[in-house]
Amino acid sequence: MGQAPHQDQERARVWWLIAPLLLTGAAVTGVIVLSMLGRPPAQVPVPAPAADRLFEYAEFRVSEALHDMGEPVPTWALTRPPTREAVALGRSLIHTGKAPGAAADAPRQSPYFTCIDCHNVTREDPVLAESNPAARLSYLARRNGALLQGSTFYGMYNKTGWYNGYWKKKYGSLVDQAQHDLRAAVQVCAQYCSQGRRFTDDELDGVIAYLWHRQYRVGELSLNEDGFRQLAAAFDRAAPDPAAAAVIRSGYLQVTPQTKGEPPADLEKGYGLDGDPKRGRLVFDLSCLHCHSGAPDAPAPSFADARAAAKRIIGDIGQRNEDNLYMILRNGTAQHRAYMPEFMTERLSDQQIADLRRYLAELAAGGGTHGDDAPGTGPAFTPTNPLDRAVTAVFESKCVMCHDHAPRGPAAGIGYLTDLPRLARSPLVEPTGGASTLASVIQNKTMPLQRWSGIAGPTGMSEADRRTILDWIAQRAPELAKPSP
């Protein structure tokens, strides 16, 4: 009970949990889940009527479920659901470093970083009870995510500890309280990790409110069928149940493991592992280019000319200095102003560094063209066709606040909307069973989700906007999806 299921079992479980909703015609959930999971696995029955009860509980917030099962509310946690305004404040601070509506020239909480430079706000791991860097990279690649040094904010509210492992060794008594108090942990990150100021009380309340909003739901937990049935029975009884609380806890990691890696003794030889350039390109695109994109607000030097950057990095591979690939990934740079944090082994493995080195070596030598649809590669797409320009304007004004290129929004697993050739090749746009997923949700007006109004930005979409997107899908997407000659 409470064990992480095999991938096929996981797909079956999620399908089983959402099947009642699909059958009752909840279009947006059905379309999005089907686009991610495909058809339901063969020979997986949908139990009835138990499935209805389990689905009802699948959307329970984990913190509230634990409290219902008798666990006390932590002293740092919220005692009631936050207001929409508090969540909006926290989201704005985490994404921009400023309060909503702040002037363009208003100072940020940190002049060097925003929280999302190092932390995702979306789910990163296919199995919440495991920390597997290879599985995480594949999961993020399928969702246009970013591979970052910091733990995701998604589910952080549900953890029982922070600044554990190496970070305790690095920061010492500075994190004594932060190890067991999320508010204190946020302040340590604000002041020391991001080299900024501490949050005010109101700002801190907003950040905690946003983290509450981004917490796990019961249906996401890494449990087997028996575990979910035990929870359903406990929720039906509506009485404290320590055993059920333990099942909930078993469905995700209580603390995020943090183990510091070391550079290899011989930098020229590296870790002695064979690198895979295709996986290495994923690391480069999803991790390196997140900060080294060349964008005006990027916190690190530009790698926009990827081949030139690769030549510099590979040319310096044997030099034991701060710019060496191994040294900078394992040790980071000096923690002063705009610096680069180190990657823990759970975030970037030795094998993934070997993969990255292999890709950079091939790129520096004139190759490195692995995976034409990998994100963040090649020249940026500049729309010249009138319909391309029109749909880009709609995406930029109505969609990218949630679906941008570097998982910064609540639904950013579907990103890169303004990279039209990449979007055109996406399964979301390619017709499935006669209609594309994107066309369906736009035509049925199930997207944008109105529940994000005021949190994720303006969500109103006119009939003209919808017609522009539908025309682009029908007329331009097939042309842009064709391979380059």
- Looking at the predicted structure, is the pLDDT value of residue 209 above 50? yes
Q: Which neighbouring-strand residues pair with 260?
A: 344
Tell which residue, 59, 50, 10, 16, has the closest CA to residue 232.
50
Q: Are residues 410 and 467 in the same domain?
A: yes
Boundary (domain end) residue, out of 194, 213, 232:
213
Give residue 167's pLDDT.
94
Long-range contacts from 87-90, C-beta under 8 angstroms, 24+ separation = 87/206, 87/209, 87/210, 87/212, 87/213, 87/455, 88/206, 88/454, 88/455, 89/202, 89/203, 89/205, 89/206, 89/209, 89/210, 90/205, 90/206, 90/207, 90/208, 90/209, 90/210, 90/211, 90/213
Q: What is the mean pLDDT of residues 142-151?
A: 88
Of residues 429 and 357, more confidently modeled: 357
Q: Is the pLDDT of residue 52 over 80?
A: no
Least reliable range by pLDDT among 53-62, 100-109, 251-260, 472-481: 53-62
Out of 45-49, 83-87, 185-189, 476-480, least confident range: 45-49
pLDDT of residue 21: 39
Residue 98 sits in a domain whose CATH number is 1.10.760
Residue 172 within a domain = yes
Looking at the predicted structure, is the pLDDT value of residue 187 above 60?
yes
Q: In the predicted model, is pLDDT for residue 10 greater than 70?
A: no
Residue 398 has pLDDT above 50, yes or no: yes
Same domain, 146 and 230: no
* Number of domains comprising the chain: 4
Joined tokens for residue 240: 């404290």
pLDDT given for residue 402 in this prediction: 60
Q: Which residues contact 4 (CB under 8 A, 6 or more apart)?
A: 10, 127, 129, 130, 222
Evaluate if residue 354 carries a pLDDT over 90. yes
The answer to whether the beta carbons of residues 116 and 406 sit under 8 Å apart is: yes
| Of 469 and 369, more confident | 469
End position of a domain, from candidates 213, 236, 263? 213
Percent of the chain with pLDDT over 70: 77
pLDDT of residue 356 exceeding 90, the answer is yes
Flag the least confident range among 140-154, 229-243, 274-288, 448-462: 448-462
Instruction: Assess if residue 66 is contained within a domain.
Output: no
Asked whether residue 189 falls in the same domain as residue 235, the answer is: no
Residue 431 pLDDT > 80? no
Average pLDDT, the chain: 81
Range in 71-75, 375-379, 424-428 the model is least confident about: 375-379
| Cα–Cα distance measured from residue 450 to residue 200, given in angstroms and rounded to the nearest whole number | 30
Q: For residue range 336-352, what is the model confidence (pLDDT) as tens digits?
A: 888 999 999 999 999 99
Q: What is the pLDDT of residue 369?
A: 53
Residue 51 has pLDDT above 60, yes or no: no
- Give me the mean pLDDT over the 15-22 stretch: 42
Q: Write phi, then psi, for 140 (nearest 5 degrees).
A: -65, -35
pLDDT (0 to 100) of residue 54 = 63
* 330 lies in the same domain as 437: no
144 located within any domain:
yes
Question: pLDDT over 90 for what percent of the chain?
Answer: 54
- Whether a cis peptide bond, with omega within 30° of 0, leads into 485 is no
Mean pLDDT, to the nearest integer, of 375-401? 73
Task: Assess whether 235 and 206 both reside in one domain.
Answer: no
Determine whether 18 is exposed, middle or buried from the number of CB atoms within 10 Å of its CB (0-12, 13-18, 19+).
Answer: buried
Q: Which residues of 70-90 are buried (b: 16+ CB within 10 A; e: fewer)?
A: ebeebebbbeeebeeebbbbb
Same domain flag for 184 and 225: no
Check whether the bond before 72 is cis (ω within 30° of 0).
no
Question: Rounded to whole angstroms, how far apart are CA atoms 480 and 279?
Answer: 25
> Cβ contacts of residue 169 below 8 Å, gap of 6+?
260
Same domain for 426 and 449:
yes
Q: What is the mean pLDDT of residues 166-176?
A: 94
Q: Which residue has the tokens 């029955």?
A: 45
Structural domain includes residue 73: no
In a domain, residue 379? The reply is no
Q: Which domain holds residue 298?
A: 277-364
- Domain assignment present for residue 319? The answer is yes
Query: Is the confidence at residue 41, as pLDDT, over 70?
Result: no
d(CA 297, CA 284): 19
Do residues 138 and 205 share a domain? yes
Say if residue 359 is in the same domain as residue 312. Answer: yes
CATH number at residue 328: 1.10.760.10
Asked if the structure places residue 441 within a domain, the reply is: yes
Task: Give the pLDDT confidence score for residue 276 in this predicted structure.
Answer: 94
Query: What pLDDT shows up at residue 412?
Result: 38
Mean pLDDT of 379-395: 81
Quick one: pLDDT at residue 6? 41
In a domain, 401, yes or no: yes
Lowest mean pLDDT among 5-14, 42-51, 149-158, 297-306: 42-51
Shared-domain flag, residues 348 and 465:
no
Q: Is 167 in the same domain as 227? A: no
Higher pLDDT: 6 or 136? It is: 136
User: Contact, 411 vs 381, CB < 8 A?
Assistant: no
CA atoms of 424 and 84, how far apart (whole Å): 35
285-320 pLDDT tens trace: 899 988 887 777 777 888 878 888 999 999 999 988
Q: Which of 44-58, 290-304, 341-355, 363-377 has the lowest mean pLDDT?
A: 44-58
- The arithmetic mean of pLDDT across residues 202-207, rounded, is 98
Question: What average pLDDT score do residues 318-347 get?
Answer: 92
Specify whether 200 is located in the same domain as 298. Answer: no
